[in-house]
């Protein structure tokens, strides 16, 4: 999944659970559920290419803009959204800190986490269908936020 889908759905979950620790942990676990859905990732055979880096930066900017629009630039009143968004992307942060070129940096811990994270990913559809699935996740998340959390 892209940063936008993980961070927005995690942020919405954070607002719904009402506790920063539960927001982070719940969104962390939600990450793996979302990765189980067919989706598009930015992988280029496990190597960070210029194209992949540009796509990740674009994705992060889009996620930040949507989040800022949703929370109205008010981090003090939306800390739960922040903790949920951080929890939602944290498994990918861990993955990128523990793994380089499909090799674990930190021994068994990195390898175990990597194997689990990879195991929840199903076969990826093409870019259009995969990004479409993520747009559906974002729309459902935003709908939940505006209809339930407010």
Where exactly are the structural domains of the chain?
3-89+123-149
Give me 20's structure tokens: 């920063």
Q: What is the DSSP letter of 149?
A: I
Instruction: Report the pLDDT value the prediction gives residue 45, as an integer from 0 to 100.
Output: 61
Largest CA distance in the chain: 45
In this predicted model, which residue has the larger pLDDT, 21 or 147? 21
Beta bridge partners of 103: 100
Across the range 42-54, mean pLDDT stands at: 72
Distance CA 129, CA 57 (A): 21
Name the residue among 41, 141, 28, 17 with its Cα closest to residue 89: 28
What pLDDT score does 85 carry?
A: 94
pLDDT for residue 68: 86
pTM of the model: 0.83
Question: What pLDDT shows up at residue 38?
Answer: 77
Average pLDDT over residues 32-37: 89
Reply yes or no on whether the pLDDT at 42 is more than 90: no
Average predicted confidence (pLDDT) for the chain = 84
More confident residue, 147 or 114: 147
pLDDT of 48 strictly over 90 = no
What is the model's pLDDT at position 150? Answer: 58
Distances (CA, A) of 13 to 3, 6, 78, 102, 135: 15, 11, 12, 31, 17
73-132 pLDDT tens trace: 776 778 999 999 999 999 988 887 776 665 666 677 777 887 888 888 877 777 788 888
């Amino acid at each position: 999944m892209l940063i936008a889908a993980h961070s927005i759905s995690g942020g919405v979950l954070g607002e719904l659970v009402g506790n920063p620790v539960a927001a982070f942990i719940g969104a962390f676990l939600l990450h793996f559920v979302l990765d189980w859905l067919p989706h598009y990732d930015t992988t280029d055979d496990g190597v960070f290419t210029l194209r992949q880096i540009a796509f990740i930066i674009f994705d992060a900017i889009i996620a930040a803009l949507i989040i800022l629009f949703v929370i109205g630039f008010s981090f003090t009143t939306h800390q739960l959204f922040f903790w949920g968004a951080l929890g939602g992307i944290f498994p990918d942060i861990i993955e990128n800190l523990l793994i380089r070129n499909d090799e674990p940096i930190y021994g068994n811990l990195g390898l175990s986490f990597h194997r689990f994270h990879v195991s929840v990913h199903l076969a990826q559809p093409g870019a259009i269908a995969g990004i479409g699935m993520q747009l559906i996740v974002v729309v459902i998340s935003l709908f939940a936020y505006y209809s339930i959390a407010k």
